[in-house]
Amino acid sequence: MALSWFAVVLIATDLKHGRLPDALTLSAYPVFGLLLAFAGSLERALVGAVLFLCLHATVHFLAPDALGGGDVKLSGSLGAVLGSVSWLALSVGLALAALITLALRGVSLGRYSDRVPHGPGLLAATWLLAFLPMTPGLPADVVYLSR
């Protein structure tokens, strides 16, 4: 439920204002950290957070116009959620977030002339991977947070 709440608020804010406020992106870390510790997947969550954060920070450093600072700050907490789902969810989450952002660009009817917000794609991809029931063909180690 915490992921859903953060997703709705942050997606609405990013779509309307083109920004992800620090008050929300940074407060997600202790909230998700505590919840994932109770779920017993803190180690995988920490590794996922570090990997996702480092990857997004590298992209932001190399191409600051391609990815905003709010997206970088958000990526660590979402990486923790994806890491706790499975290792596969980290790479699928990256690809799915990019596809959702590309789709947002396609349906925006020119609203975003210079850059499309990536936060909604990150949040939607993480939410989908965390809450969809297990699909046939995925590895057995895919454990979803909704269980």
145 belongs to a structural domain: no
112 three-class SS: coil
136 belongs to a structural domain: no
112 belongs to a structural domain: yes
CA distance 103 to 61: 25
- Is 70 exceeded by the pLDDT of residue 112? no
Contacts 24+ apart (CB under 8 A), 30-36: 31/2, 31/6, 32/2, 32/3, 32/77, 32/80, 32/81, 33/80, 35/2, 36/80, 36/81, 36/84
Number of domains in the chain: 1
146 belongs to a structural domain: no
pLDDT tens digits, one per residue of 68-108: 999 999 999 999 999 999 889 999 999 999 999 989 888 77
pLDDT tens digits, one per residue of 6-58: 999 999 999 888 899 999 999 999 999 999 999 888 899 999 999 999 999 99
Rg (CA), the chain: 15
pLDDT recorded at residue 133 = 59
Phi first, then psi: give them for residue 10, nearest 5 degrees: -70, -35
pLDDT recorded at residue 18 = 86
The range of the structural domain enclosing residue 40 comes to 2-131
